[in-house]
A = this chain, B = another copy of it.
Amino acid sequence: MQRSPVTAPTLARLIDAFHRLPGIGPKSAQRLAYYILRAPREEAEALAEALLEVKDRTQLCGVCQNITDVDPCAVCSDPNRAAETICVVEEPLDIVAIERTGAHRGRYHVLHGAISPMDGIGPEDLKVRELLARLGDQGVQEVILATNPNLEGEATAGYLSRVIGAMGLRITRLAHGLPVGADVEYADERTLREALTHRVLMDGEPDRYEAR
């Protein structure tokens, strides 16, 4: 980014650091830096500490692979969350979106991506092994495949459906109703609640299971 020599180097470095963040343009970066300059020192410190803490203290839950401070995470150690239903998502933010609907009271599993031959991402690059390990011995009865309704997400759901198929579990996916090519994370709550409520059997049968 071209910078005027009248900007102090320290300030220029902060502007650059903000500008490196996704969705922050040069003007926004400048505004944010001058805001920090005028803000109480405590506010700058709080952001600086939060940035480092997130790198130091967070880890993946050994069970569901979601991001957590404690292992196992709050959901996996909550006795009120039904252990017999596991909702499989691509990313942690998908869980946040699904939780907002209030339509899923079971557990989760985060794949941290989707199968994408174009990008050289196969099942072995995702948390698939960890998912299969959970399905054998924890009384799981249903796996909801809540991958994104796009090419990679559908390929992932198809793959998982085949792999899990022999285990005698109910395998469902989110009802189509989500716009194709979109992200689960951005779906409005009503659409997503509908999709959860009317999830359909993975073998394509017209039967519908009502959410518990």
**Which chain A residues have a beta carbon within 8 Å of chain B's beta carbons?**
4-11, 13-14, 16-18, 20-23, 28, 30-37, 41, 43-55, 57-58, 66-69, 73-75, 91-93, 95-96, 99-100, 108
Cβ of B58 and Cβ of A6 under 8 Å apart?
A: no
- Picked from B10, B46, B67, B92, the residue with its CB within 8 Å of the CB of A58 is B10
- Count the copies: 2
Do B11 and A22 have beta carbons less than 8 Å apart? no
Question: Quick check: A17 and B67 within 8 Å, CB to CB?
Answer: no
6 pairs of residues in contact across A and B, judged by CB atoms under 8 Å: A5-B74, A10-B58, A37-B54, A47-B51, A48-B49, A51-B51
State whether B30 touches A17 (Cβ < 8 A).
no
Quote the shortest CB–CB distance from A63 to chain B (angstroms). 13
In the complex the two chains form, is A11's CB within 8 Å of B54's CB?
yes
* Given A11-B58, A69-B9, A50 and B17 contact (CB-CB distance below 8 Å): yes
Contact of A99 among B4, B37, B54, B100 (CB under 8 A): B4
Q: Which of A5, A8, A36, A68 has the most CB of B within 10 A?
A: A8
| Chain B neighbourhood of A95, CB < 8 A | 4, 6
Smallest CB gap from A95: residue in B = B6
Residue among B54, B68, B99, B100 making CB contact with A44, cutoff 8 Å: B54
Instruction: State whether A67 touches B22 (Cβ < 8 A).
Output: no
Are A93 and B58 in contact, with the CB atoms below 8 A? no
